[in-house]
Amino acid sequence: METQSRIPENLKLAVLERIKPSQAERERLLIAQDELVAKVKEAAEQLDVPDVFAKVVGSAARGTWLSGTHDIDIFISFPEETAREDLETQGMAIARDIAKGAEHAEDRHAEHPYLNIRFKGFDVDLVPCFRVASACRIKSAVDRTPFHNEFVKTRIEGLEDDVLLMKQFMRGAGVYGSELRTQGFSGYLTELLVIHYGSFESAVQAARSWKPGKKIDLMKHAEIEHEEPLVMVDPTDPKRNVAAALSLDKFCMFIDHCREFLKNPDLKSFFPEPPSPVGDAEILEKMEMRGSGQLAVVFKTPDVVEDVLYPQLYKTEQAAASLLEGHGFSVIKTGVWAGRQETVIMLELISNTLPNVKKHIGPPVWVPGHAEQFKAKYENTEDVFAGYIEDGKYVFEILRKYPLAAELLKEQLSSHSLGKHIQKSINRGVEVLENAEVRSLKDPGFRVFLRNWL
């Protein structure tokens, strides 16, 4: 019998005022889009590549982009029967031709190469793709996008503002973006949620009582089971989960954000106060209050895109925590921060030090061979404090090899599986800062991270 608390209209309007592109912004975008489409056609003709045209996809094409994001996705569509190699060389040749008039251009690589350019103030991706007959027959992951575009475009009319509100709301929760760094909600997923629930408000109301395993199947055509916390069956491909990249924690953070917002609908849920960088004095004060051990593993940020970097960072974060736990340290929490220059794996421990003495528990006394070998190994070692029997097992109090967590990380971390690029960077040099020493890291981005951490 819960009363459905309505979201005040003027709150929505206040949000939209800040995020909805102005008429002028729209016009600039349309002009740029049209120009790019024409340029693709021109370039294809000039390079003598037949039957190729441009498709504008993404939020810009669907009227669901947030003011100021300035992303344009231009897909260079090749006939389905084009050879993979031709698509790549000819597609990139067309893209490069367009790039001549751009302020900046950069080769990028997903499943295929594509070109990212800066054009009249917009961030443009020029992506070669196959023009397949259905999303189930795609030859490359990007071939799906035009189908998504079609599906949304025909259903989103009148719901554009709700999508904008939802995107900004998710930004406020820190769950917007399906890239590997964020593991949150993609733009397409957000649009599907609004289409499914009919409005921003209904979606937020519903999400309050989501549970892992929540499944939405707009076309009622699901073909396989998925394990992810949220399953949004792709309306254009019955085998695919649109929410596959969404992590459990981002799923839960969204639920939590919906609950808090409905209890108290305010602008802050959309535009949270940006945290300020924490100063030296405050770092000291907060660390003293916590009384725990703080470790910062610092190395040069590898020069790779975020979708390559972050999975390796998370792997390194896990490896560092396992290494410490495996040597008897107690990890309270871990985190990663990557700036342009430096990357930091932060670890908070119960303590950065452990006693020299380590209790080493062996096999039960009555296990033939094994027990006697264990005893023989330790009883005459120099670095043994004592040996005795406890709970039927031989126990030796031995000298701990790594009583200092920082030493352990410095000496052992690089021999663990961390991902290629981080491995390389760490092999070139790694520093482990302890407690107040992290004050030597001055990057304001890190200091913002540290404010949330402490």
Give dist(CA 390, CA 399) in Å, integer: 19
- Token pair of 24 as six digits: 């002028």
Written in H, E and C, the secondary structure of 106-149 is EEEECCCEEEEEEECCEEEEEEEEEECCCHHHCCCHHHHHHHHH
User: Nearer to its own copies by C-beta: 222 or 395?
Assistant: 395
Are 411 and 259 spatial neighbours (Cβ–Cβ below 8 Å)?
A: no
- Residue with Cβ nearer its own copies (212 or 272): 212
Q: Shortest distance, CB of residue 429 to its own copies, whole angstroms? A: 30
Rounded Cα–Cα distance for residues 95 and 114 (Å): 8
Question: Between residues 91 and 229, which has the closer beta carbon with respect to its own copies?
Answer: 229
Joined tokens for residue 431: 């520093």
> CB-wise, 37 or 371, nearer to its own copies?
371
Q: Which is nearer to its own copies, 97 or 407 (CB)?
A: 407
Report the residue number, 108 or 290, with the smaller CB distance to its own copies.
290
* Residues β-bridged to residue 75: 55, 127
Is there a contact between 194 and 237 (Cβ–Cβ < 8 Å)? no
Closest distance between its own copies and the C-beta of residue 317, in Å? 13
Smallest gap from residue 31 Cβ to its own copies (A)? 43
Q: Which is nearer to its own copies, 146 or 403 (CB)?
A: 403
Closest CA to 310 of 344, 348, 336, 340: 336
List residues binding its own copies (CB under 8 A). Answer: 209-212, 229, 248-249, 251-253, 255-256, 259, 289-293, 328, 330, 332-333, 348, 350-351, 353-357, 359, 364-366, 368, 372, 375, 385-386, 389-392, 397, 403, 452, 454
Rounded to whole angstroms, the Cα distance separating 169 from 161 reads: 12
- The answer to whether 40 and 91 have CB atoms below 8 angstroms apart is no
d(CA 133, CA 27): 32
Q: Measured from the CB of residue 251, what is the shortest distance to its own copies in angstroms?
A: 8
Q: Which is nearer to its own copies, 281 or 289 (CB)?
A: 289
Question: Could you tell me if 62 and 195 are in contact, meaning their C-beta atoms sit under 8 angstroms apart?
Answer: no
Nearer to its own copies, 179 or 249 (CB): 249
**Using an 8 Å Cβ cutoff, are 297 and 349 in contact?**
no
For residues 96 and 267, what is the distance between their CA atoms, to the nearest angstrom? Answer: 43
Q: Whole-angstrom Cα distance, residue 119 to residue 372?
A: 75
- The least distance separating its own copies from the CB of residue 246, rounded to whole angstroms, comes to 12
Q: Radius of gyration of the chain from Cα atoms? A: 27
Q: 115 pairs with which residues across the strands?
A: 107, 126
Residues in the chain: 454
- DSSP 3-state of 309: helix
Q: Which is nearer to its own copies, 150 or 314 (CB)?
A: 314
Q: Determine the residue type at 405.
A: A
